[in-house]
Chain A
Amino acid sequence: MIKTDALIIGAGPTGLFTAHQLKLIGLNCEIVDNLDKIGGQCIELYPDKPIYDIPAVPECTGEELTNNLINQLKPFDIKFHLSERVEEVKKNNENWEVKTNKGTEFSTPNIIIAGGVGSFEPRKFSPKECEKFENKSIFYSVKDKTVFKGKIVSIFGGGDSALDWAIELSKDSKVNLIHRRDEFRGAQATVDKMNELAKNNKINLFTKNQLKSVNGKDNLESIEIEHDNKEFKNLKTDYVLGFFGLIMQLGPIANWGLNIDKKTISVDTEKFETNQKGIYAVGDICTYPGKLKLILSGFHEGALAARACFKLARPNEKYRFEFTTSSKSIKNRLGVKE
């Protein structure tokens, strides 16, 4: 079991800056995030979109903001647990015991939830019978492409993931690519390549079509797709891949006994503590009168929650407010030479 002064759930901008605040005041922390990379919504939803309201940064993209925050954390040694989702939170005397879906366990007096709108999960197909075949014949990501060799694979989606996999798998499999409209939103070069493969019958392209139903007993046998003009087509298929991007789900957070209203967690505005002592919520996931879902608000909330963590992590010490411009101990922590 990993012991830490504070555990941060979520590696978006708020989680990253909160980690910085914790380290500045001399507390250690670890960060868990369900995504396989650091940055949260900034990196997953809008890496290339410019942001104009970060104080003192006239313009930066989601990716630049993330990289700057990671750079700011460089003086510190912070352990990230990526591609892990916190499943269980239990009280054990003064500490919280936390377990992830990969089995990593933490013991900590403080949990800071900086979870945005929840964890990112793949968007799934709408027909209900798809669940039966999930992870057997229907996948939302590719872990081992060799299973598709010599098989018929039907790929759904219009973005880069769908296009890249259609092109890649067309080498060794029979590929159907199905998309709801004529335009694809992938990189132009990828779209061109796919169109060329479709022209040479290496990819069977079905645009203006969507998945209607899936058929098969134990194994998937065929799927039915529906054209905009209501025409149905039956396609023999061994595997189905769906690439519809990611959706945010509150997930297990809903089960931790917190006051949740419309996917947000109620907190006070002194410590950003929830109704559970030692569990805080900061950034988009928290709510209080006047809450603004701005990145800068998350920074403020994280700074205050970090101070509140000090009391529980160092019950016998008194927290002293210090400025980074003048404090020797802070400069030591940052590794700044006088």
Chain B
Amino acid sequence: MPKITYIEHNGKSHTIEIANGLSVMEGAVQNNIPGIDADCGGSMACATCHVYVKEEWFNKLPKKEDGEEDMLDMAFEPKKNSRLSCQLMVSDQLDGLVVNLPEKQV
């Protein structure tokens, strides 16, 4: 199974095996990773599963859909490498992905 690394804002790192087909958000929620709220449950309606993707990974990810950038406008301290983790589907190509979590989601 692909391994995804979540780094909390305080630096604490969690590397977890996540089944293909789940989203990076679902992987975090199911494994109780603190720092991902996912209030809307993955319907791209809340921007509380916001993550920063490590530079080397950012360009390898599938492009954002229109709605994702609109929601990121509302995220807490969005940056150029911001993504909504509910839109990142885990696959073998994502094995080794590292995401940093923002200080808070709201």
Contact = CB atoms under 8 A, between A and B. Distances in A.
Interface stretch (B8-16, B18-26, B55-63, B67-75): B67-75
Contact of A157 (B69, B73, B77, B78): B73
Contacts of B80: 228
B71 to A, nearest CB: 9
A46 B43 contact: yes
B69 A117 contact: no
Given A41-B40, A247-B106, A181 B45 contact: no
Interface in B20-48: 37, 39-41, 43, 45-46, 48
A168 to B, nearest CB: 20
11 contacts: A41-B40, A157-B73, A185-B70, A210-B77, A210-B78, A228-B80, A244-B73, A245-B73, A247-B106, A248-B39, A248-B40
Contact of B73 (A126, A159, A228): A159
A147 B103 CA distance: 34
A185 B40 contact: no
In terms of DSSP, what is the predominant structure of the interface of chain B?
Answer: loop
A249 B37 CA distance: 11
A180 B78 contact: yes
B45 A180 contact: no
B46 A248 contact: yes
A41 B45 contact: yes
A85 B69 CA distance: 31
Interface in B62-106: 69-70, 73-74, 76-78, 80, 106
A228 B45 CA distance: 25
Nearest to B37: A263
B22 to A, nearest CB: 16
A126 B77 CA distance: 7
A67 B41 CA distance: 24
Contacts of B40: 41, 45, 117, 248
A197 to B, nearest CB: 20
B106 A249 contact: yes
A46 B67 CA distance: 11
A265 to B, nearest CB: 15
A158 interface: yes
A62 B64 CA distance: 24
B41 A293 contact: yes
Given A117-B39, A247-B106, A185 B45 contact: no
B43 A181 contact: no
Interface in A178-215: 179-181, 183, 185, 210
A247 B73 contact: no
A245 B73 CA distance: 9
Nearest to A124: B106
A45 B74 contact: no
A59 B62 CA distance: 29
B73 A185 contact: yes
Interface in A247-271: 247-249, 263
Contacts of A263: 37, 39
B42 to A, nearest CB: 10
B76 A45 contact: no
A305 B88 CA distance: 37
A232 to B, nearest CB: 16
A74 interface: no
Interface centre among A46, A157, A247, A293 (most CB of B within 10 A): A247
Given A158-B70, A263-B37, 10 more contacts: A41-B40, A123-B74, A159-B73, A180-B73, A181-B73, A183-B69, A185-B70, A210-B78, A228-B80, A247-B74
A159 B72 CA distance: 12
A286 to B, nearest CB: 14
Contacts of A180: 73, 78
A228 B106 CA distance: 21
